Chain A
């Protein structure tokens, strides 16, 4: 899976959680929890969706690495190599 596909899936799942947000304009380094007003249940739903769609089981200890768009795409890219 290439970077573009990972990005598309990640943004789609973010969009499912925060449907009213314009994700094309999301700052790559903004804290997702603050930028998108995500709570712990949203975050868990995001991790569940990523596991389902990408097959990447993200442990809780790694959550902080996915807290902005840039970090999340890098993390998922590494895990899918």
Chain B
């Protein structure tokens, strides 16, 4: 067991990022941290991003103050590794998981918040919950130690009408980031494109049947069927999942699907849903419902921004039947789903009205060829038609 000091550095949140501005620390020296804890907020071209720590330990020293802009790789803080994660820290992690049916979860004392100038007294778990729900902490009265806001104070508020403003999003900077990434993609990646039309009537009917017995909060969207189908097809066609780096293809072991999300007012981002191949459709839907509003409000975690292994883009009900994507470097493929349309379709020698979707593939010719691409698209098409097996 080591208890040495390690640097916590400004992460690269995309191949186009060179520097970031530290906006806020969510920890102070001597705070215990666990791998995956969100410890700071960094402003990048893509908006304010929450940064996770990758070691268990204790914050030894803060090196960069809020407001400073530093290059990628600059040490932001030192973490003393191997300090046994305190029970308190574990309690926080447990509290951050979806709450069980409201057992009186004791709010940990050790990380009980301290007052800081201009800052509301709140536990880290409460802070995270408030952020994910878009609740303003300043408007809540705390019932925890010293009047601190705890999770229970927020759960009741989440249903109250809240103000929603895109906070951490700078659309001009986002436009710049898109232009840099897309120009690089078109300059460097030899794209090829394929399209495949399939009848998704059975899939739509299955969704309608499934959703008919559910409350709105538990309903599924076609988007999760599409993403899961892509993720499972990638298991058979790994040459579309991974990165092109330094002149060669690095396949990715996990399937993290970047979902292209349009930002109101203009702009686009593709944060990652992790391990899509291993999630059920219901789990995926829960993640999607969490991710989309956070993305639109500009609250995205560093790991979600940086590590998608493929992108899926869907034009929802925007009326366009097919899209030909520009690959997001260093990824090597993008799968597009057009609008589902009603069309005359030949089944068993009879023309019938069916729901049809056009699936497209943009892929990197340095890594794969059209033949493999065609088989990959065909596999996605088959999987989409049998959502009950996903």
Contact = CB atoms under 8 A, between A and B. Distances in A.
Interface stretch (B48-56, B102-110, B218-226, B248-256): B218-226
Nearest to B292: A41
Nearest to A52: B159
Contacts of A47: 216, 219
A61 B292 CA distance: 24
A68 interface: no
A13 to B, nearest CB: 8
Interface string B221-245: 1110000000000000000000000
A77 B331 CA distance: 50
Contacts of B164: 16, 19
Contacts of B211: 60
A26 interface: no
B108 to A, nearest CB: 30
Contacts of B289: 41, 45
A39 B318 contact: yes
A67 to B, nearest CB: 11
A58 B217 CA distance: 11
A79 interface: no
Q: Which of B211, B219, B264 has the most CB of A within 10 A?
A: B264
B155 to A, nearest CB: 13
B218 to A, nearest CB: 9
Contacts of A65: none
A20 B215 contact: no
B156 interface: no
Contacts of A52: 159, 217
Contacts of A59: 212
B219 A60 contact: yes
A37 B265 CA distance: 10
Interface band, chain B:
20 to 34
Interface string B303-316: 00000000000001
A57 B208 contact: no
Contacts of A53: 159
A20 B264 contact: yes
Q: Is the interface of A mostly helix, strand, loop or mixed?
A: helix
Interface in A21-51: 33, 37, 39-41, 44-45, 47-48, 50-51
B83 interface: no
A80 interface: no
Contact of A60 (B208, B217, B317, B318): B208
A15 to B, nearest CB: 8
A57 B218 CA distance: 12
B219 A40 contact: no
A12 B161 contact: yes
Given A19-B164, A37-B264, A48 B318 contact: no
Contacts of A40: 221-223, 316-317
Interface in B331-355: none
A57 B288 contact: no
Nearest to A16: B164
Contacts of A37: 264
Contacts of B217: 48, 51-52
Interface in B186-214: 208, 211-212
21 contacts: A16-B161, A18-B264, A19-B164, A19-B165, A19-B166, A37-B264, A39-B262, A39-B317, A39-B318, A41-B221, A41-B288, A41-B289, A41-B316, A47-B219, A48-B215, A51-B215, A51-B217, A57-B215, A60-B211, A60-B219, A61-B208
